[in-house]
Chain A
Amino acid sequence: MATRPGDYTHFKSIVPLKRVSIGTKYWRYYDYGPKSVPPLICIPGTAGTAEVFYKQILTLSSKGYRVIAADAPPVWSHQEWVNSFEKFLDTIGVHHVHIYGTSLGGFLAQLFAHYRPRRVQSLVLSNTFLDTREFAAATTWSSLITWTPEFLLKRYILSGIRDGPQEPLIADSIDFVVSQLETLSKKELAARLTLNTTVGAIGQVLVPDSDITIMDTNDYCATPQALREEVGVRYGGARKAVLKTGGDFPFLSRADEVNLHLQLHLRRVGVEALVVTKGPGGSDDSAQGEDGRGFLQHPDLGMPPAEGGTGEGSSTSSSNSSASEAYRQKAGLGNEWTMCPCNATDWDSRKKFPLDLLVAASIEATIQGHGLPNDGLLGGSKVSIMRYWQLAMYNLY
């Protein structure tokens, strides 16, 4: 099956889903990118799964960053989440973390930073809040969450997503998240809603403001603006990386901008990407001795295309060896890249620098921009599952 570099099918074919048991429960996660780099951990909101960050995983790993996107098993209190997350990190051998948390994920990231101050080095908080009281107050039936039928829980979660016509990339992002929501069990849904509606507030966070980036979307999102503004006030010195548009799921709908901000954030907090940059000047080859594990930048796509079907099936298994195999495969595919393959009129004859990571990101962004990848998993049908749910509910009443 043909996969386009950067699309979800491509992601599934090269990045293995892993599971690790914590007590009797399993964390699902993706862990991709060079192991020697301190990871960026992505934590989704109520409706998201680890998969919603596939564009971050693909792009940032190709830039030499390590990205982990994790889904917690059903846990029923904030404290239990913190404990479980800590054990998860211990189990996968990660000590210090940089966390990118969106909405509920951002709340949990702050909570973890509060309770485990020494482990959290930096935070990227997106469309999130400091306090669940408003959600708790609005959910008078929260004690009944575990008794609520699955379709009602789904409907409830979906009610936070804005209805009405959307521009294509945002519509696709909603479709994708809705399709992910379909994969969650009733127990998982109930646990997420419980976390979101249990009264809780963020205590002191010791991460300095200079190591926090707040990445909100300026058009709209389900987190009320007043709550988001509280986050900005609390971390007054944090960097405000506002996205003009993007809706609730900018990591999908504005992936190139989000990835750029994540890179800027990581660069700011001192995370060095592991890349082999081989600029035309040939001055920057030092990193290349890394036995083929160094991440190379494909000349024009950011990610090497998956070649043929070989190895794709095995890479979805959870073993570590297949992951490193995937790395090697990647490393072998992208040989070296040069400044800009399209050698148009060189009006600027000044010295060319080895391509910076960010610029490499942009090449990919350019390509994405032209290609308008369709991430909707609904096979071209633009009738989203969300609408389906709404219609179904309408008929019930």
Chain B
Amino acid sequence: MATRKRTLLKVIILGDSGVGKTSLMNQYVNKKFSNQYKATIGADFLTKEVQVEDRLVTMQIWDTAGQERFQSLGVAFYRGADCCVLVYDVNVMKSFENLDNWRNEFLIQANPSDRENFPFVVLGNKVDIDGGNSRVVAEKKAKGWCTSKGNIPYFETSAKEDLNVEAAFQCIAKNALKNETEEEIYLPDTIDVNNGGSQSKSTCEC
């Protein structure tokens, strides 16, 4: 049986600093949460094998530092992204208002081939805080924004309580996979599932 190329999904998490991007990623990948806040330096990534529908795919999740101006991050982070996760803190209005900027900047930097249909997912994090009493962004408002941007899927999460994190990332993986598959259709020349017969007898490593 020919070994099939593994599918790699690249996911970028964006949002203001302190909204919980790293915590969400850690909760999802490592099932860990720490109350201690540590600013992410530049960027980092984690990988996780996930089952999406009946396919096993590798998710490469990039966590970026919210403090940095987006433009300074550059294309290496965004090249080949399959899904962009926008995170805000439901207790901080500014972090919600900035979603627009994060989204726009992503589209500028990553420059996806199909801007209109590029998959985003929005997460309203920290719903656990103060039993929801300190909340300033209503669910309705967030959903309204998501609808206006082409029906972006929306999840309310708590990385601390592991609330909705799995569901959100399942949705992220699914949408990312859809995007990845479409790319394959657009660029048939670059896909080589069988690894090419001519290479099988090659003895040299270059």
Binding site for B on A (CB under 8 A): 45-48, 103-104, 107, 127-129, 134-135, 138-139, 156-157, 159-165, 167, 177, 193, 196-197, 218-220, 222-226, 229, 239-242, 244-245, 248-249, 254, 256-257, 259-260, 264, 267, 339-340, 342, 344, 347-348, 350-353, 355-359, 361-366, 368-369
Per CB-CB distance, the 3 closest pairs between chain A and chain B, nearest first, are A362-B74, A358-B42, A103-B205
**Smallest beta-carbon distance A347→chain B, Å:** 5
Residue of B16, B58, B196 near A242 (CB, 8 A) is: B58
Interface residue B148 (Cβ < 8 Å from any Cβ of A): no
The chain B residue with its CB closest to the CB of A128 is: B205
B34 at the interface (CB under 8 A from A): no
Pick the residue among A135, A165, A356 that contacts B205 (CB under 8 A).
A135
The answer, yes or no, to whether B76 is at the interface (CB within 8 Å) is yes
Instruction: List, in ascending order, chain A residues with CB within 8 A of B113's CB.
Output: none
Q: Are A365 and B76 CB-contacts (below 8 A) given A135-B203, A159-B204, A356-B65?
A: yes
Query: Quick one: given A244-B8, A359-B73, are A129 and B205 in contact (CB under 8 Å)?
Result: yes
Residues of chain B from 44 to 73 with CB closer than 8 A to chain A in the complex: 44-45, 47, 58, 60, 65, 67-69, 71-73
Contact A361:B74 (CB < 8 A) given known A161-B206, A218-B6, A240-B58:
yes
- Besides A46-B206, A344-B71, 13 more A-B contacts (Cβ < 8 Å) are A160-B206, A165-B189, A218-B5, A219-B5, A220-B196, A224-B200, A226-B3, A350-B16, A356-B68, A362-B75, A362-B76, A365-B76, A366-B75
Are B192 and A219 touching (Cβ within 8 A)? yes
In the bound assembly, the distance between CA atoms of A188 and B39 in angstroms comes to 49
Cβ-defined contact, A257 with B76, below 8 A: yes
Contact A223 B71 (CB under 8 A): no
Q: How far is the CB of B9 from chain A (nearest CB, A)?
A: 9
Verify A196–B67 contact, CB threshold 8 A: no
Q: Please name all residues of chain B whose beta carbon is closer than 8 Å to the beta carbon of A347 when the two chains form the complex.
A: 98, 101
Q: How far is the CA of A248 from the CA of B47 in the complex (A)?
A: 22
Query: Which residues of chain A come closer than 8 Å to B198, judged between CB atoms?
Result: 159, 163
A150→B66 CA distance, assembly (Å) = 54
| Closest partner residue, chain B, to A139 (CB atom) | B203
Kindly state whether residue B17 has any CB partner on chain A within 8 Å. Answer: yes
**Chain A hits for B16, CB < 8 A:** 348, 350
**A356–B199 CB distance below 8 A:** no
**Shortest Cβ gap from A345 to chain B (Å):** 9
A222-B205 in contact (CB<8A): yes
Q: Which residues from chain B contact A245 at a C-beta distance below 8 Å? A: 80, 190
Instruction: Report A159 CB to chain B, min CB distance, Å.
Output: 6
Which of A107, A167, A347 counts the most chain B CB atoms within 10 A?
A347
Cβ-closest chain A residue relative to B81: A244
A interface majority secondary structure: loop
Q: Which residues of A contact B203 (CB under 8 A)?
A: 134-135, 138-139, 156, 160, 193, 196-197
CB B183 to nearest CB in A, in angstroms, measures 10
Contacts of A365 on B, CB cut-off 8 Å?
Answer: 74-76
Interface of B, helix, strand, loop or mixed by DSSP: loop
Q: Are B68 and A157 in contact (CB under 8 A)?
A: no
Q: Which residues of B179-206 have CB atoms within 8 Å of chain A's CB atoms?
A: 189-190, 192, 195-196, 198-206
Minimal Cβ-Cβ distance residue in A for B7: A218
Q: How far does the alpha carbon of A4 sit from the alpha carbon of B164 in the complex, in Å?
A: 49
In contact, A358 and B43 (Cβ under 8 angstroms)? yes
A160 to B201, CA, bound (A): 9
Select from chain B the residue with minimum beta-carbon distance to A142. B203
- On whether the beta carbons of B204 and A358 are closer than 8 Å, the reply is no
Which residues in B have their C-beta under 8 angstroms from that of A256? 74-76, 79
Give CA–CA (A229, B79) in the complex, Å: 24
Residues of A within 8 A of B33 (CB): none
Q: A165-B189, A225-B195, A226-B3 known; A46 and B72 CB under 8 Å?
A: no
Residues A362 and B73 in contact in the complex (CB < 8 Å), given A219-B190, A353-B68: yes
Within 8 A of A (CB), among B127-165: none
CB distance from B52 to the nearest CB of A (A): 16
Residues of chain B within 8 A of A361, CB atoms compared: 42, 74, 76
Q: How far is the CA of A129 from the CA of B189 in the complex (A)?
A: 27
In the assembled complex, 19 residue pairs joining A and B whose CB atoms fall closer than 8 Å, in A order, are A135-B203, A138-B201, A162-B199, A218-B8, A222-B202, A225-B195, A244-B10, A245-B80, A256-B79, A257-B76, A264-B43, A264-B45, A342-B71, A350-B17, A356-B65, A358-B41, A359-B42, A359-B65, A368-B75
A358 CA to B200 CA in the complex, in Å?
A: 38
Q: Are B204 and A356 in contact (CB under 8 A)?
A: no
Q: Measured between alpha carbons, how far is A363 from B42 in the docked complex, in Å? A: 12
Chain B residues, CB < 8 A from A193 = 203-204
CB nearest neighbor in A for B49: A240
Among the listed B98, B101, B206, which residue makes an inter-chain contact with A47, where contact means beta carbons less than 8 Å apart? B206
> Do residues B205 and A369 form an inter-chain contact, with CB atoms below 8 A?
no
Closest CB in chain B relative to A284 CB, distance in Å: 13
Are A222 and B204 interface neighbours, CB within 8 A? yes
A residues less than 8 Å from B71 (CB atoms): 340, 342, 344, 366
C-alpha spacing A107/B206, complex, angstroms: 12
Using known A-B contacts A219-B190, A347-B101, determine if residue A242 contacts B67 with beta carbons closer than 8 Å. Answer: no
Instruction: State the Cβ distance, A244 to closest chain B Cβ, in Å.
Output: 4
Q: Kindly list chain A residues whose C-beta atoms are within 8 Å of the C-beta of B77.
A: 260, 362
Q: How far is the CA of A240 from the CA of B67 in the complex (A)?
A: 26
Q: How far is the CB of A298 from chain B (nearest CB, A)?
A: 14
